[in-house]
Structure formats: C-alpha cells, structure tokens
C-alpha cells in the first residue's frame, strides 16, 4: 500500500509512550509503538481495554495499521498528566479509535469524561478517524435487561460523540459478540470491501464451493464470507480463527510458519491458502468428485484477480471515499 504525498511530508515524530518513558510504566497501560512509524496509521484501543483479548497488540494488520493500546483502568493523575503532555502525539495519525466501556462501571461520569477528552483530541488531530465503542462485559447484565441497557448506552454515546459519529457494539468475552465486533471493525477498514465481497461470491459460485471465507492475514479474523450452503455451526468463524491461530502459534514455536493447508475427510475438503497481500482464503468443498488439483488451480487463478482488485483500489480510493 502506498502512502499519499501529504503523509510522506510529515516529519518523523516520537509517537506514543515508550517503555522507558520518564513517567515510568503506568499501571495497566500497554503503550507500544514501532519506531519510524510516522507513515503508519494507528488504531487506538482505549478505555477499559484490559478486559479485552488483545493478542493483536503486536501485530501490524492490513499492511500498515499499527495497534496502540491504552488501558485507562489505572491511575487518574497519570492519565491527566500524560494526556496533556503527549496528547497530540497520541492522537495524531489515528485511523480508528476503539473505546471500551465496562457496562458495570460505577464511574459512568468519569468514563464519559475521559471519552469526551479523547474525542476532543481526535477532533483536533485526526478528525477523519472512525470511532467504535464497545459496551463490554454484557454477560454480567441480566439477559432480559441487555437490549435495554445497551440501547441506553448507545444513545448516550451517540449524543456525546457529536459531531463525530460512532458505531457501538455490545460485547462479552463469553460469546461471539467480541469476535464479531472485531471482525466488523476490521471489515470497515478494508479498502473497497463491498467489491471484494461481490467478487468472493462469484468466485464461490464458479468453483462450486460450499463456503468461502476471507481472513485478515495477520489476525485471522474472518472479514468476509460467502456460503452457498446452509452450515451447521453458527459459531464457526470464531472457532476457525482460533484453530488456525493456535496452529500458527505452535508452528512459530518451532521456528516455522504454515503457508497452506488442505484438510479432508469423506464429507468435505477445506483449502486454506494465502490469497492477497492482506488476506487468507479458506474454500470448503463437499463434492468429493472434484479433485483437489482443480480447486487449487481455481484458487491460484482467483488470487491474481483479487490482487488486482486490491491494488487498483488502494488507500487513495479509501481516502476519497470518506
């Protein structure tokens, strides 16, 4: 992905806190950034982010997005000081802000106050950033209350966020909602995702696949899928993501990484392979009469087509679309 000219002109700066910051290591803060990331766009994860599964913290995804995590569950005075002195640095070049709220928080006022400070900083430094709010730990709310409480929070947040717009998700680590939220967020960051989906559908139909999944390459989040056939397991996306991530992890312990995979039994054959520079694809076939070589050739040919799509509609297009 190429950066636009204006970004290239920006000077290198000290972005984000380093581990040896003069203010010391704040409790609960996971600030980390790559050096020389002046050209890179940031994803800020803030609020009560400590309770959110963030293995992605070390990952650059979608080519040039870097994840910065800030857990604001900690010390207040630190937050005030740090925000004031480092504020512009933190909030510059932000592509996405994800703010996590604990649904059970006893300090709603304070949470909202911090949130609004962040939004002010965003408005000043990265006004085009996309804002996502996670109303987290929904499992702690009684089931019959969840819709109501979420709607209330969502309304409050929308109101407080103006003139900026935010999308809200209700999440919990105990079901698929958090995974879906992450997927949705990443989905919205993919340049030209609708066209990608249309092409995916055509692809799936041409090769007579049962299902085709598209993963973001680093996080293995399912960002898009097309199914030609009803599938038994509604939770399969998160499961597949986890299965593959576990496998990747075990490979990395042996200083190897997997490139592609074919798994089959008498009822199915699944093919997982690198697709474009940002994605992996998984093709599921249930017709045993189709030889695997045919499917592999189809994937290879489709790859060329999808690469072209990704190149043509790169970040320039994305900026224009805003």
Partner 1 sequence: SSSPAGETGIGLRGDPTPRRPGQRTEERVLDFSDPFSAGVKPRIVLLALRRSGKPSIQKAVFHRMSPSETLFLESTDKICRGEVSNGSFVSFQIWDFPGQIDFFDPAFDYEMIFRGTGALIFVIDSQDGYVEALARLLLTVTRAYKVNSDISFEVFIHKVDGLSGDHKIETQRDSHQRANDDLADAGLEKIHLSFYLTSMYDHSIFEAFSKVVQKLIPQLPTLENLLNIFISNSGIEKAFLFDVVSKIYIATDSTPVDMQTYELYVVIDISWIYGLKEDGAGTPYDKESAAIIKLNNTTVLYLKEVTKFLALVCFVREEIFERKGLIEYNFHCFWKAICEVFEVGMKVVKSRKVQNQLQKKKGATPNGTPRVLL
Residues found near partner 1 in the complex (CB under 8 A):
53, 55, 173-176, 179, 210, 230, 232-233, 235-236, 238-240, 242-244, 246-247, 250-251, 254-268, 270, 284, 286, 288
Nearest CA among 40, 38, 44, 11 for reference residue 315: 40
CB 224 within 8 A of CB 196: yes
- Point out which residues pair with 135 in neighbouring strands: 101, 170
Smaller CB separation from partner 1, 127 or 288: 288
Nearest CA among 301, 248, 314, 243 for reference residue 275: 301
φ, ψ of residue 274 in degrees (nearest 5): -65, 140
Smaller CB separation from partner 1, 182 or 187: 182
Residue 222: CB atoms within 10 Å:
23
The nearest distance, CB 101 to partner 1, in angstroms, is: 19
The nearest distance, CB 283 to partner 1, in angstroms, is: 11
The nearest distance, CB 52 to partner 1, in angstroms, is: 11
Type and span of the H or E element at 45: strand 41-47
Smaller CB separation from partner 1, 174 or 202: 174
Q: Is the CA virtual torsion 216, 217, 221, 222 positive or negative?
A: positive
The nearest distance, CB 171 to partner 1, in angstroms, is: 12
Smaller CB separation from partner 1, 4 or 277: 277
In whole angstroms, give the CA distance from residue 11 to residue 19: 22
- Helix, strand or coil, per DSSP, at residue 147: helix
The nearest distance, CB 133 to partner 1, in angstroms, is: 22
Residue 11: CB partners within 8 Å, gap ≥ 6?
A: 38
Kindly report the CA angle at 185 between 232 and 231, in degrees rounded to 5? 10
- Helix, strand or coil, per DSSP, at residue 226: strand
Smaller CB separation from partner 1, 65 or 240: 240
The nearest distance, CB 79 to partner 1, in angstroms, is: 25
Smaller CB separation from partner 1, 165 or 233: 233
Nearest CA among 112, 220, 219, 218 for reference residue 166: 112
Smaller CB separation from partner 1, 77 or 259: 259
The nearest distance, CB 132 to partner 1, in angstroms, is: 20
Structure token digits, residue 277: 């520079």
CB 34 within 8 A of CB 66: yes
Residue 26: CB atoms within 10 Å:
20
The nearest distance, CB 279 to partner 1, in angstroms, is: 17
Smaller CB separation from partner 1, 114 or 220: 220
In whole angstroms, give the CA distance from residue 197 to residue 224: 7
């Amino acid at each position: 992905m190429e950066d636009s000219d204006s970004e290239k002109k920006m000077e290198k700066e000290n972005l984000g806190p380093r581990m040896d910051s003069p203010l010391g290591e704040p409790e609960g803060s996971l600030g980390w950034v790559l050096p020389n990331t002046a050209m890179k766009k940031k994803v800020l994860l803030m609020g009560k982010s400590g309770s959110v599964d963030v293995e992605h913290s070390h990952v650059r995804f979608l080519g040039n997005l870097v994840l910065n995590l800030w857990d604001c569950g900690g010390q207040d005075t630190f937050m005030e000081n740090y925000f004031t002195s480092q504020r512009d640095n933190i909030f510059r070049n932000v592509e996405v802000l994800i703010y996590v709220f604990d649904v059970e928080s006893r300090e709603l006022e304070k949470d909202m106050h911090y949130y609004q400070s962040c939004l002010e900083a965003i408005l000043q430094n990265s006004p085009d950033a996309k804002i996502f709010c996670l109303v987290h730990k929904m499992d702690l709310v009684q089931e019959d209350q969840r819709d109501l409480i979420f709607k209330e929070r969502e309304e409050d947040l929308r109101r407080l966020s103006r003139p900026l717009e935010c999308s809200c998700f209700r999440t919990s680590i105990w079901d698929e909602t958090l995974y879906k939220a992450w997927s949705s967020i990443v989905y919205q960051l993919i340049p030209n995702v609708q066209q990608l989906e249309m092409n995916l559908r055509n692809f799936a139909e041409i090769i007579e696949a049962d299902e085709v999944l598209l993963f973001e390459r680093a996080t293995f989040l399912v960002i898009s899928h097309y199914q030609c056939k009803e599938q038994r397991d509604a939770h399969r996306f998160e499961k597949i993501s986890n299965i593959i991530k576990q496998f990747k992890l075990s490979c990395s312990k042996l200083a190897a990484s997997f490139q592609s995979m074919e798994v089959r039994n008498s009822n199915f054959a699944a093919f997982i392979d690198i697709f474009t520079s940002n994605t992996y694809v998984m093709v599921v076939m249930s017709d045993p009469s189709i030889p695997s070589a045919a499917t592999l050739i189809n994937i290879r040919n489709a790859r060329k087509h999808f690469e072209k799509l990704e190149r043509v509609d790169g970040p320039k297009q994305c900026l224009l679309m805003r």
